[in-house]
Homo-oligomer: A and B are copies of this chain.
Amino acid sequence: MNFYVCLLQECTNSIPKLIQYANANNYNVVAVPINANMVPLDPYERDPTYPGTLLNAVDWNSKMIFMLSDVDVDSPSPKLREHSKKILLRDIAWAEHLQNAGCVMKRLHGPNIDNLAEIIKAKTKGNWFIQVPISNPTMGSFEHRKDATEAEIAEAEANDPWTWWNSLRFAVKHSSKVKVVIELTDLDRPSKETVRRWLGEPIEAVIIPSSLFVRNKSNYHVLQKSWQTIIGHLLAARANIIISANPNDMFISQYADYLRKLASDNNDTHVLNSYENLLEIPLQPLCDNLDSYTYEVFESDPVKYKLYQDAVQAALIDRVSDKDAPKKLTVVMLLGGGRGPLARAIFNAAALTKRKVRLYIIEKNPNAIRTLSHMVQTLWGDKDVRIFSKDMRDFSPPELADILVSELLGSFGDNELSPECLDGALKLLKADGLSIPYKSTSYINPIMSAVLHQNVSQLVSTVPAFDYGYVSLLKNIYHIDKPQTLFEFAHPNRVVPIDNTRCKEISFTAQKDCVLHGIGGYFDTMLYKDIHLSINPLAHTPGLFSWFPMFFPTHPRTLKEGETISVKFWRCIDADKVWYEWQVSTREAWEHHNAGGTGYHMRL
């Protein structure tokens, strides 16, 4: 299903009428107890229950969320437990009969989930929506109380509903068919960090009780600012809406309209949002030739080339005084010309500063050369420009450059081998020449993201998926702690011999009980002076979308609030390739990933 607004009612005497009523009030799905008409336990009994022909198969699948009986299959009472199992299995059989790809919803009540997990694993069709309160109301009150004892807090923590869900998630082996439905209540407003943590979970929907609404001055039903913010975060993480209301509530269409508006306000309209949470293998432009599509995506970045232009402009002014401008030539070499966007930025910079520029464009992709050649003939006939179809490492220039310009950076800074390429191009540069960019820095932090973990796990049958780093538009994630600096590379690098291997260990602290699913990777790069590009979430350049973050997976483990997570990263090099290795340690060392570069590596 695409985004939906669902009407939840605890009872109905006609499912088709409820659907009609919900549709008329701007809801596209309804959630009702599967035993809406009180089906007797014995399915052989000829009782007037509702028939399978009540709706057609498409409607059963697309318009209904079945709420399973609110029984406890993990009750301490054996009798109650067995009775509950019988009821739940009967509910599931009926749900599977009506829906061949549908959704059932089950409420979690406490930390015991073993029997439920077994039942979930045995059901093969459709998805499970696990209904969980967003927080423990007691916990919420502690956050504003100074007098609570540590024992009181510890006890309340054990009753944190996130912990129930976390146990269930491990017990069902992180199945992608099991999703969370978060239930809000007017008794408790969760803390920011509690809400943020849920964003790392596979959120299906959020249940909003009608009692959360208040009337504004115009007598219209609205949510208070604080609830707007909380629900806005969940909506931005693609949660659907379930509004729970009484059958005789007169205002249900107001709730739906209000929340549709809120959803649209919080809808991240990133042009690339079809990539959310997907894992992609990073590009290797050094050994693979990029295609037109990839160039086109890069070229459409609205801020990157403007900042490059600013950087070249500033450098030209610093290197050539106004007085010298009419005669002094600046030789610029563009390393990796692609289909010309940086060349355009350089010509713009020259025109705006009125500096004389000779541009050498070096490009190793013969297909891009065709487009560049065409541009020289049709657009740049009056420019001092020459194109070389070469690998920059093998290029012998007719003269040396004042400025090297390049965009060889990957999502993790150096992962498209900019250090190796720029070191190889050092011979092209005058002794006082400069490189744009002149520095790049990578950043990492620990991340919880159940969805990314599920996506990695799906790849395991074909590749050593936990030894790969991925490029991913991170959406459903929780930042366990803030990013910190990892590796730095400066250019030009005139050190002899140059060593581009690196190794560093960084410590982070879990801000809350959570699960570590992997390490987020980011970078920033200094183009000239303070002109820079960044995808570090703490300081992301507004509007920049050329680079998604990286994700280095780990096998999931639960962390306790306050626990220290040490992350060690290596950048390794041999004759043919460059690769990263990574390892997390808490009290003990976890798995060492990608030893020897057998998984993800960059070919030289």
Q: How far is the CB of A55 from chain B (nearest CB, A)?
A: 9
Check B52 against A295 for contact (C-beta < 8 Å).
Answer: yes
Inside 8 A of A53's CB, which chain B residues have their CB?
292, 339, 371
Which of the residues B51, B99, B295 comes within 8 Å of A370, measured between beta carbons? B51
A49 close to chain B: CB less than 8 A: yes
Q: A282–B395 Cα gap in the complex (Å)? A: 63
**Per-residue CB proximity of A333-370 to B under 8 Å, as 1/0?**
00000010000000000000000000000000111111
Check B291 against A56 for contact (C-beta < 8 Å).
Answer: no
A270-327: which have CB < 8 Å to B? 289, 291-297
Q: A367–B93 Cα gap in the complex (Å)? A: 8
Check A44 against B292 for contact (C-beta < 8 Å).
Answer: no
Check A374 against B292 for contact (C-beta < 8 Å).
Answer: no
Which of the residues B94, B96, B373, B387 comes within 8 Å of A49, measured between beta carbons? B373
A384-421: which have CB < 8 Å to B? 387, 389
Most B-side CB within 10 Å, residue of A60, A99, A292, A295: A292
Q: How far is the CB of A150 from chain B (nearest CB, A)?
A: 53
A100 close to chain B: CB less than 8 A: yes
Which of the residues B50, B100, B297, B371 comes within 8 Å of A52, measured between beta carbons? B371
Q: How far is the CB of A507 from chain B (nearest CB, A)?
A: 42
Check B94 against A374 for contact (C-beta < 8 Å).
Answer: no
A375 close to chain B: CB less than 8 A: yes
In the complex, which residue of chain B has the Cβ closest to the Cβ of A96? B291
In the complex, which residue of chain B has the Cβ closest to the Cβ of A100? B293
Which of the residues B43, B100, B374, B389 comes within 8 Å of A48, measured between beta carbons? B374
Inside 8 A of A98's CB, which chain B residues have their CB?
291-292, 367
Q: A376–B365 Cα gap in the complex (Å)? A: 74
Inside 8 A of A47's CB, which chain B residues have their CB?
373
Which of the residues B52, B294, B366, B373 comes within 8 Å of A367, measured between beta carbons? B52
Inside 8 A of A368's CB, which chain B residues have their CB?
52, 97
Q: Indicate how many identical chains form the complex.
A: 2
Check B50 against A374 for contact (C-beta < 8 Å).
Answer: yes
A20-55: which have CB < 8 Å to B? 39, 43-44, 46-53
A82-125: which have CB < 8 Å to B? 93-94, 96-100
Which of the residues B50, B289, B370 comes within 8 Å of A39, measured between beta carbons? B370
Inside 8 A of A376's CB, which chain B residues have their CB?
46
Q: A295–B56 Cα gap in the complex (Å)? A: 10
A46-B387, A368-B52 known; A60+B94 contact, CB < 8 A: no
Check A60 against B292 for contact (C-beta < 8 Å).
Answer: yes
A98-B292, A295-B52 known; A43+B370 contact, CB < 8 A: yes
In the complex, which residue of chain B has the Cβ closest to the Cβ of A93? B367
A57 close to chain B: CB less than 8 A: yes
Q: A339–B366 Cα gap in the complex (Å)? A: 65
Most B-side CB within 10 Å, residue of A52, A100, A367, A369: A52
A377 close to chain B: CB less than 8 A: yes
Inside 8 A of A61's CB, which chain B residues have their CB?
293
Check A291 against B97 for contact (C-beta < 8 Å).
Answer: yes
Q: A93–B387 Cα gap in the complex (Å)? A: 20
Q: How far is the CB of A517 from chain B (nearest CB, A)?
A: 27
Which of the residues B43, B57, B60, B366 comes within 8 Å of A366, measured between beta carbons? B43
Q: A222–B39 Cα gap in the complex (Å)? A: 64
Inside 8 A of A294's CB, which chain B residues have their CB?
100
Q: A353–B56 Cα gap in the complex (Å)? A: 32
The 6 A-B residue pairs with the shortest CB-CB distance, nearest first, are: A97-B367, A57-B293, A51-B374, A51-B371, A46-B373, A43-B366
